[in-house]
Amino acid sequence: MGLKATSTIQLYLVDEVMYNVMDEETAMELWLRLEALYMTKSLSNKLYRKKQLYGLRMKEGTTMLEHLNFFNKVISEILAVDVKIDKEDKALILLSSLPESYDHIITTMFYGKETLILEEVTSTLLTSEIRKR
């Protein structure tokens, strides 16, 4: 069972990562080494993750679902290094990552609201994209 787990993890690693962990023999050793290399809670890692989040911009031609998936991936990586972001800030960061073509939708979402709920924002954005098609 351990060999199967180790092999499965190794199959999903790109070559550049694999070279850094190829001496690890058990799945646990491999996992701990990967965690130490790529999920450290260092200040520089936190800075890198925050820059990635705050610099996020949706590219033209990207679907909203693809953008939301990448946004959620970045949020997960930030949470993994113990950086806390409240839900309203997540919603605001998501909206600020959208191109100008979404300005009218953003204005509509703000109308009559004191706070934003991330789930409502994502639902509105996905519904809007479906209507555009």
Q: Are residues 66 and 111 in the same domain?
A: yes
Residues 73/91, Cβ–Cβ less than 8 Å: no
Q: Are residues 89 and 122 in the same domain?
A: yes
**Domain containing 59: what range?**
43-132
- The pLDDT profile of the chain, 133 residues, written as one tens digit per residue, is 678 888 888 887 888 888 888 888 888 888 888 888 877 778 888 898 999 999 999 998 899 999 999 999 999 989 988 889 999 999 999 999 999 999 999 999 888 889 999 999 999 999 988 888 7
Q: Are residues 71 and 57 in the same domain?
A: yes
Which is nearest to 75 in space by CA: 61, 103, 56? 56
Residues 21/33, Cβ–Cβ less than 8 Å: yes
Which is nearest to 65 in space by CA: 130, 126, 117, 123? 126
Q: Are residues 30 and 95 in the same domain?
A: no
Residues 64/125, Cβ–Cβ less than 8 Å: yes
Q: How many structural domains is the chain composed of?
A: 2
Q: Are residues 26 and 89 in the same domain?
A: no
Q: Are residues 53 and 7 in the same domain?
A: no
Residue 121, number of CB atoms within 10 A of its CB: 21
Q: Are residues 114 and 92 in the same domain?
A: yes
